[in-house]
Structure 1
Amino acid sequence: MNYGLTYKQTRSLAYEYATALKKCPIKWTEKKEAGIEWLKGFMKRHKDLSLRKPENTSLSRSTSFKKHNVTQFYDNYEKVLKRKKFAPECIYNLDETNIMTVVQGPNVIARKGTKQIGQCVSAERGQLITMCGIVNAIGNALQPVFIFPRARFHDSMLFGAPTGSVGYANSPTSGGMTGPLFIKVLEHLKRLTRCSKEDPILLLMDNHESHCTLDATIYCRENGIVALTFPPHCTHRMQPLDVSVNGSFKQKLSVAQNDWLLSHPGKTITIHDLASIVTPAYNASYIARNIIAGFMKPGIHPFSRNAFCDEDFECAEVTNRPMPTTSSDAFSDVLQTTSAAADTDCEEVEQEINFEDSPPATALYIPVSTPVSPSIIYSTSAQLVVSDVGPSLSLPEAETISSITEFSTPPMTSAVSPPSTVNCA
C-alpha cells in the first residue's frame, strides 16, 4: 500500500495492541512503546520480514496505476500487434533519463560509531543533461542521444561517449527534451532501424509533451513508426527501461563518478566529462539480460495480461469512485421520463374510449377537459363537434377515430373550446 511501518511505528503499534488486550508490560508504559528486545524477538520469529529502504513513489503514481488504465493499455497494445504483426526485434522502447554532474555518492566503509562521513563531490549543485536510451525486445540497445544545456553543440561534449552516440544542444539554461529535439531523435531512430511504411516498427514511450506534438505524430506516420504511449504515471511499473535498466544505470553511474573524482583529485566534473563517465555505466547496464527482463516483467514481450495481480493495484483502490454523470446522460434520462409519462396519458385516454361497445349509428359523448400541461391530446381523424345538446339526442354518423397523436400546439383545422363534445362513432 506504499505506507510501510518503521521500527518505531511497529513498537508503538505493539504497545497499543497490548494495552487493548490489557496485557501490557509495565516497562512499556514509560515510553508508551514496546521494548527493543521485543522487536528483535519479533523479527526473529518472522523470518519473512526484513527492513528495506522503500523507493519514493508519488501520490500520482500510486493512484494512477490501476487496473482500468493497465487493461486499456493492453487492449491497445494487442490491437496493434494483431494489425501489424510486429516481430520482437521491431518492438522498441524509448525513454529519457537525467544525468547530473553532482550525484549522491555510493556507500563507503567507515569505523563503527562514526556519526558523520564525508564524501567529495564536484559541487553543491550540478548541471543536468538528458540521455535518451532506445532498446528493443530482443535485448539490443541502440546508440543513445545526449542533450546538453548549451546554445551550440560542440563535438568535445561527446568525448568518450558510447560509439555512435549523437548529441544536441537545447539552451544555456536547460538540458531537457523538447518537441523539435525529439524530431531529431526520431530521425536518429529511423536511420538506425531503416523503418518505412512497408516495414514499420512499434515505439513504446511515455506521454511527455515533447513526444505528443503534431510534428512528431506526422513524422511517425510518414516514416513507418507506430507510436504507443503508456498510461500517465504508470511508467515506473510498465516501461521496460524504468523497470530493470535505468535503476541499475544510475547506481553504476554514481560509482563511476566517484571513481573519476578519485582519479582526478582537485578537479570537478563538467558536462564535457560526463559522456566519458557515462560509458562504463551504460555498457554495464544496457545489456541483453536487463533489457529482456524489462520487457518480460510488465508483460510486453512475451505478451501477457497476467503480469500484474490484484495486490499490485491495492494503492489505487482507495481512490476509485463511480463514473460521473454527464449532462447529456442527464438530459437523456429526462427525455425518457417525459416520454414514459406521455405514453401513460395516451393509454388512459384510449382506455376511456370504448370503440367495440358502441353501435355503428350511436354516438358517444365524452366531455374533454382542459389538460393542466400545455400538451393537448387530439384525434387525427375524428370529427370534433361543439354542441349544447344532451347525450340522449341522435347525431349524424361521424368518422371513426383511427389514432391519437400528441401535439405541442392545437392543429389549425380543429376548434376546441373546453368543455367541448367529441362525436365518435
Structure 2
Amino acid sequence: VKEESANEAPLDSQMDVLVKEESSVNRMAPIKKARKKKSVKKAVKRTFFKYDEDQLVQAYSAVELGVSIRKAARDFNVPYSTLNGKVRGDSSLNRRMGRTAVLTTDEEQLLCNYIIANANKGIALNRHTLIETVQDIVTEDKRKTPFTDSKPGRAWLRSFMNRHPEITERNTETINKARAAGTEDNFRYWCKDLENFLEGKGCSDILLDPNRIFNADETGFRTSPKTGQVLGLIDDSNLYDVGSGNGKECMTVLTNFSASGKVVPPMIVFKLQKIRHEITNAIGTDWHIGKTAKGWMTAEQYSDYLEHCFLPWIRKQDIKFPILLLVDGTRSHCTYNVCKLCSDNGIIQYAFYPNATHIMEPAAVSVFKPLKSGWEKVVSDWNRETHGKPVTKPVFGKLLGTVFAENLTEDRIQNGFRKCGLYPFDPNAIGFSKCMNHSSRANLPVNINNDKTKPIRWEVEHLLCLESLMKRGRAEEFRHSESAGSWTGDIEATELFDLWRKIRSITMEQEVITPPAHLHQSIERETPNLKDVTTICVPEEATEHPQDQGVENTPRCIQERNVEKTNTQTENSGIKQKEVGVSPAFLNNITW
C-alpha cells in the first residue's frame, strides 16, 4: 500500500501540471474594446474685410438718410456689427485693426515727406535717425507709448514701412560735393554742346553708328582685394583673412569698349623698369602692356596705347573714321601730344562733364562694378586652390583675362551706353535722379542737428603750406594716387595722404557750407494748421520763386485742412468722422 501511494503521488502532481498547462492554452485572451475617437473640430480661421471700404461708406450714407442699420448692412453686404459700431461712433470709418497707433495718420504722412525731402537733398536718413526722431517727438509730447523709454523698436519700424511702401531702405552711393554740384541742366547743355561740336565738324552721323562711339577709362585692381563677410563662430569677434602678397599693391588697367558692345584690348600698367618675358607670355599678344616708375597712367603711356593698340585695332575692324572717344578730363588724356595724335588720325576725343562720370560714363555706370566683383571672386578662388600663393604680375594678367571674358558681355556694355544716353543718343535717358538738380540741394548742411557746430574754412593756402612741409615729390605722388583712388606708396605716409586728400577735397569746393537759418527755427503753435506745414516742406527758395520749381522736385505735403476741427466732411458722402492732426511737438522735431 505504501509503495502504491508513493507511486500515485507523483502521478497526481503530473496531472495537476497538465491541467494547468491545458487551462492556460485554452484560456481566451480578453477582448479589448475599441475606443471611440474624439471628434476634434478644426478651428475656423477668421477672415476680415470681406467688403470694400466704398461699400461701408455707402452703407453709412444710407443710414444717415434714414435706412435702418440692418437693411443697409444687408443691401451693401457689410457685417451688421461692423456698421452698427461705425454708426454709434465706437470706431472711425477707416478699416484698421489693432490698438491705436502712436502717431496719427497726418503725422506719419508728414514723417514720410520729411524722409523724402532730406533724401532729395542728399542727407538720407537711416533707421536709427528715424527712430530717434520719433522718440524725441513722443517724449516732448508726453505721450503714453508701449515702447521702452519711448523708443520705437523693430516691430514699429517694420509696421511703418508696411504702411508706407513708398519708403524703403537702400544702400547709398557716397559722392563728394564736387560730384553733387552737377545739375540736370549742366548735363543737358553738355549733350547739346556735343551735338553742336560734331555738327561743326561735319560728322554728326557718328551718333547714329554704335561702332564709332567709344569710352575709355582707367581703374585699379588690387592683388589682394578685401574678402568681405565671412563665416565663423558667433562669439568670435576676431576673424582674420591672411592676404596673399602685398595688400597695398594695385594694378592700373585702361579699359576701352564701343557702344556696339565690342571690347578693345585693354592696357595694364605695371610698376616696372623693364617688362619681363614671362609677363608678356602670360598676358598674350592682344593686350597692351605699359610700364611706369609708379605704376600709374601717364600721358606717354596713354599716347603709346592709342598709337600701337587702339588705332591698329580700329583699322583691323574696318571701322569708318572719324570716331568719337569719350574720356574723363584727367591730365594724361589732354596733353598736346595726345591731342595731336588724335587729330592726325581721325579720333575725336571728347571729355565728359567734370565730376559726372558716375552719371554719364558707361564704364562707371555698368562695367566697373561687375569687373571688380568678378575680380574678387577669381582671386578668392585662386587663393583657395593655391593655398595662398601671391598674385604675381604674370598671374595677374592671366586672372584678369578670365574676369574680362566672363563679365564684359555685349549686353552689359550696350546697357551702359543706353543708360548714359549716348547710344541711342537721348539726353532724357540719363539717370538724372542722381543729380542734385533741385535748388535746395545746392547747399548741403553740414550738421542740421547741432547749432553750436561751426564750419571750418580750409583755404588753398593751408593746402600749399602742408605740401611745402612734405619731402620733394610727395605732393605729386599724392595727386597720382588720388586719381588712382588709393595710396600705393610707403605705408608710413598713408595717414598723411588721407589728411592731404581731405583738405584738398574741401579746398576744391572753395566755399563754406553752412546750414540755412530756417533749419534751426523752432515752430511753436498751440493749434497748428497743416497749411503752415508747407512752409516747412518747401525750401525758402521755392517759396520765393514758386514758378521755378518742378513738380518732381517739391516735396509733396499732405493736403491742407484745419486740424482744429475734430469733425471733417468727406468729399463723396458727407460722412462725419474724427480726425487727429499733428501735435506741436511733431512740428518742432520735423523740420526741413
TM-score range, shorter chain: 0.5 to 0.7
The 1:242/1:69 distance shift into structure 2, 3 A limit, reads same
Match of 1:17 among 117, 137, 144: 137
Is the 1:182–1:210 contact (alpha carbons within 8 Å) kept by the matching residues of 2? yes
Identify the structure with the greater helix proportion.
Answer: 2
Partner of 1:42: 160
Partner of 2:312: 191
Partner of 1:144, secondary structure, is strand
| Correspondence 1:77 to 2:194 | yes
Partner of 1:207: 329
Match of 1:245 among 356, 359, 367: 367
Partner of 1:67: 184
Supply the distance in 2 between the matched residues of 1:225 and 1:294 (Cα, whole angstroms).
22
Return the letter of the residue paired with 2:193: N
Supply the distance in 1 between the matched residues of 2:225 and 2:344 (Cα, whole angstroms).
40
The 1:275/1:113 distance shift into structure 2, 3 A limit, reads same
Partner of 1:203, secondary structure, is strand
The alignment-based identity, stated in percent, is 24
Gaps in structure 1 of 5+ consecutive residues: 322-425
String of CA shifts for 1:220-277, please: whole Å, max 9, x gaps: 1111000110011100110011110111100110111100000111422223321112
Supply the distance in 2 between the matched residues of 1:109 and 1:47 (Cα, whole angstroms).
33
The 1:216/1:54 distance shift into structure 2, 3 A limit, reads same
Supply the distance in 1 between the matched residues of 2:143 and 2:280 (Cα, whole angstroms).
68
Return the letter of the residue paired with 1:9: T
Is the 1:139–1:289 contact (alpha carbons within 8 Å) kept by the matching residues of 2? yes
Supply the distance in 2 between the matched residues of 1:236 and 1:310 (Cα, whole angstroms).
11
Pairwise mapping of residues 111-260 of structure 1 onto structure 2 (< 5 A)?
A: 115-123=237-245, 125-161=247-283, 164-171=286-293, 174-187=294-307, 188-194=309-315, 199-260=321-382
Identify the structure with the greater strand proportion.
Answer: 1
Partner of 1:232, secondary structure, is coil
- C-alpha displacement at 1:123, in angstroms? 4.5
Q: Comparing 296-305 with 48-57, which one deviates more in the overlay?
A: 48-57
Return the letter of the residue paired with 1:303: F
Is the 2:244–2:388 contact (alpha carbons within 8 Å) kept by the matching residues of 1? no
String of CA shifts for 1:371-414, please: whole Å, max 9, x gaps: xxxxxxxxxxxxxxxxxxxxxxxxxxxxxxxxxxxxxxxxxxxx
Supply the distance in 2 between the matched residues of 1:158 and 1:317 (Cα, whole angstroms).
53
- C-alpha displacement at 1:73, in angstroms? 1.5
- C-alpha displacement at 1:12, in angstroms? 0.6
Is the 2:329–2:354 contact (alpha carbons within 8 Å) kept by the matching residues of 1? yes
The 1:107/1:197 distance shift into structure 2, 3 A limit, reads closer
Return the letter of the residue paired with 1:71: R
The 1:275/1:198 distance shift into structure 2, 3 A limit, reads closer
Partner of 1:272: 394
Match of 1:51 among 164, 169, 192: 169
The TM-score, its normalising length taken from structure 2, stands at 0.50
Q: Which has the higher contact order (CA 8 A, sep 6+)?
A: 2
Supply the distance in 2 between the matched residues of 1:169 and 1:294 (Cα, whole angstroms).
30
Supply the distance in 2 between the matched residues of 1:38 and 1:320 (Cα, whole angstroms).
34
Number of equivalences: 316
String of CA shifts for 1:320-340, please: whole Å, max 9, x gaps: 59xxxxxxxxxxxxxxxxxxx
Partner of 1:236, secondary structure, is helix
Partner of 1:314, secondary structure, is coil
| Correspondence 1:93 to 2:210 | no
Supply the distance in 2 between the matched residues of 1:162 and 1:39 (Cα, whole angstroms).
55
Supply the distance in 2 between the matched residues of 1:15 and 1:120 (Cα, whole angstroms).
44
- C-alpha displacement at 1:285, in angstroms? 1.9
| Correspondence 1:313 to 2:431 | no
Partner of 1:395: none
Partner of 1:210, secondary structure, is helix
Supply the distance in 1 between the matched residues of 2:175 and 2:262 (Cα, whole angstroms).
29
Partner of 1:416: none
Gaps in structure 2 of 5+ consecutive residues: 1-119, 444-592
Is the 1:145–1:165 contact (alpha carbons within 8 Å) kept by the matching residues of 2? yes
The 1:90/1:197 distance shift into structure 2, 3 A limit, reads closer
Is the 1:13–1:33 contact (alpha carbons within 8 Å) kept by the matching residues of 2? no
The TM-score, its normalising length taken from structure 1, stands at 0.68
Return the letter of the residue paired with 1:189: F
Is the 2:420–2:430 contact (alpha carbons within 8 Å) kept by the matching residues of 1? yes
Supply the distance in 2 between the matched residues of 1:105 and 1:159 (Cα, whole angstroms).
29
Partner of 2:415: 293
Supply the distance in 2 between the matched residues of 1:309 and 1:276 (Cα, whole angstroms).
35
Supply the distance in 1 between the matched residues of 2:135 and 2:145 (Cα, whole angstroms).
9
The 1:104/1:310 distance shift into structure 2, 3 A limit, reads closer
Supply the distance in 2 between the matched residues of 1:198 and 1:311 (Cα, whole angstroms).
35
